[in-house]
Chain A
Amino acid sequence: QLQLQESGSRLVKPSQTLSLTCDVSGGSISSGGYSWTWIRQSPGKGLEWIGYIYNGGITDYNPSLKSRVTISMDRSKNQFSLELTSVTGADTAVYYCARAGDYIYFEYWGQGTLVTISS
């Protein structure tokens, strides 16, 4: 059974960079045909797709976040990561990692991690 687990900084100061990692177990991120995804959920904006990485390194990002987002993967550690720069209070949210297939719906999710942007 595939499992995903988010980790990283839970409190980030405004204007700094949010960094999260998703550890994948029960399957390999090197397996073809999957999109390794970050999604966030805040009271104000609901569920928001941030972006994904697939085919070993191709990325697509939500245009609303594209200038600030980088998603990368580390095959040796079987994990993928999110960096979001120049954060503000609007970036406070629960961040989820998830997996999609060729069609981008999300069957596997991490438990989510709350990241708070505050000085």
Chain B
Amino acid sequence: EIVMTQSPATLSVSPGERVTLSCRASQSVSRNLAWYQQKPGQAPRLLIYGASTRATGIPARFSGSGSGTEFTLTISSLQSEDFAVYYCQEYNNWPRPVFTFGPGTTVDIK
């Protein structure tokens, strides 16, 4: 089973700042990587799939990059509504279908 790790666990940021979140896979997942945003009491919301493609309706300030085992989610200028927990998820489907999520990074107000 692929193990996903995320860093940092928590990030304290001021509105307007640039934010970079990291996600690492224990083995290559190619570009089969998605990012989600979750706010308290809500389901996760898909932000990015295919490592760098924004989902429908996602603002351009969210961008993803990486391939293989190292991935990054960048928020170019943090807005108040972006304070949330961010998860990565691999969907490599190899060696068998087990789709694992990272433990999450909490972005909170500095």
* CB pair A106 B44 closer than 8 Å: yes
User: Residues of A at under 8 Å CB distance from B?
Assistant: 46-49, 60, 62-63, 96, 98, 100, 103-107, 109-112
Tell me the dominant secondary structure on chain B's binding face: loop
A104 partner, pick from B45, B56, B97, B102, beta carbons under 8 A = B97
Is the Cβ of B43 less than 8 Å from the Cβ of A105?
A: no
**What residues of chain B lie closer than 8 Å to A98, measured between beta carbons?**
43
In contact, B93 and A49 (Cβ under 8 angstroms):
no
Closest to A4 in B: B43
A46 and B105 CA atoms in complex are apart in Å by 12
Q: Are A109 and B44 in contact (CB under 8 A)?
A: yes
The tally of CB-CB contacts under 8 A between chains A and B is 53
Interface SS of chain A: strand
Task: List residues of B whose CB falls within 8 A of some A CB.
Answer: 1, 32, 34, 36, 42-46, 49-50, 55-56, 87, 89, 91, 93, 96-104
B98:A63 contact, CB within 8 angstroms: yes
Contact of A49 with B98 in the complex, beta carbons under 8 Å: yes
CB-CB under 8 A from B101, the residues of chain A are 46-49
Contact B91 A62 (CB under 8 A): no
- Considering the complex, give the chain B residue whose CB is closest to the CB of A107: B46
User: Which residues from chain A contact B91 at a C-beta distance below 8 Å?
Assistant: 100, 103-105
* CA gap between A49 and B36 in the complex, in Å: 14
Whether B49 contacts A49 by the Cβ 8 Å rule is no
User: Contacts A47-B87, A103-B49, A104-B91 hold; do A109 and B43 have CB atoms under 8 A apart?
Assistant: yes
